[in-house]
Amino acid sequence: MQKLLSYKTFWFAAALILSITTDFPAIGLIIGIAIALVFGNPLKNITGKISKNLLQISVILLGFGMQIGVILKVGFASIGITFTSIAITMIAGLLLGRFFHIERNLSILLTSGTAICGGSAIAAMSPAINATQGQTAVAMAVVFLLNALGLIIFPPLGHLLGMDEASFGLWAAISIHDTSSVVGAAAQYGAVAAGIAVTVKLTRALWIFPLAFGAAKFNKSETKPPFQWFLAGFLLAGLITTLFPAGNDMWHSLSTAGRHLMTGTLFLVGAGLTMEELRKVGVRSLLVSVILWIIITIVSLAAISTGTWYISPDILK
């Protein structure tokens, strides 16, 4: 088995088979994690890069399932919600970090990863605050673990709470760390949930730029946050769908392909959770991240349940 895992073709083939056979992302994630924890992953860096690229392609393909007007409406409707949720998370996270005596840079990375978009936020913030490689690795491992759990537990929890698709899509976009798991969880819940979740999540991800820029200025770093080109691709896909309605069958097929590709993507994402990564997770770092995650999950659920934060499913029409 070890020899088989050392071939890139194995990982490509497995991801492809899963993408073709199912559009249920949790299956891909669970299989990837199981293989990585039991047998390891000698090509972890390679599968990690591939999964990042596939995620971006998946998000762009999902854009073909939405009109540009809808994307912009959902985006503008969620600006205040994403800003408020990020502010609450950042304040709570930094206070928790001080209370549990977590290193300042590690606390910032854990908090920004929870507040904005998981690994992408950590990758952008790390050079901006001059974090060490070890601090970055710990933050990535912690957020990765919770992100994987989010994909698995949120859909059944949403059904248990009796949430409609629009409410669940907003809740997932605010509470789950990384774009991959947000898309995966929402896709399991339904088309309306996926449409709202993807757009709100990408709106949330845009806050990487001002936050990383501000952190770099504060720490006198010249690092600039990387341009998230797939966000532009998502908008372009929605624009193409709107301008050329005659190709609706093709656009629907591309959107469906995006949902299927998420299964293979999350298989490769899960393959990154090896025992080596788990050993990087410190007890205090994990405790702070779990508490912070519970806080934003409960706060956002309360805000959505009371109608304080609300996006109508009709916005997708």
Do 259 and 186 touch, CB atoms closer than 8 A? no
Burial of 294 (0-12, 13-18, 19+ CB in 10 A): exposed
CA 164, distance to chain mean position in Å, is 21
Question: What is the rounded CA–CA span in Å between residue 188 and residue 192?
Answer: 11
pLDDT of residue 56: 85
pLDDT less than 50: residues of the chain = none
> If we measure between CA atoms, which residue out of 66, 270, 45, 250 comes closest to residue 148?
270
Question: What is the rounded CA–CA span in Å between residue 74 and residue 78?
Answer: 6
Structure tokens belonging to residue 207:
């806050």
Question: What is the rounded CA–CA span in Å between residue 167 and residue 242?
Answer: 25
pLDDT of residue 230: 78
Structure tokens belonging to residue 74:
């959902």
- Per-residue b or e along 223-232, where b marks 16 or more CB atoms closer than 10 Å to that residue's CB: bebeebebbe
Do 118 and 149 touch, CB atoms closer than 8 A? no
pLDDT of residue 221: 65
pLDDT of residue 234: 87
| Distance set, CA 274 to CA 135, 239, 280 (Å) | 18, 40, 10
pLDDT of residue 172: 96
pLDDT of residue 222: 63
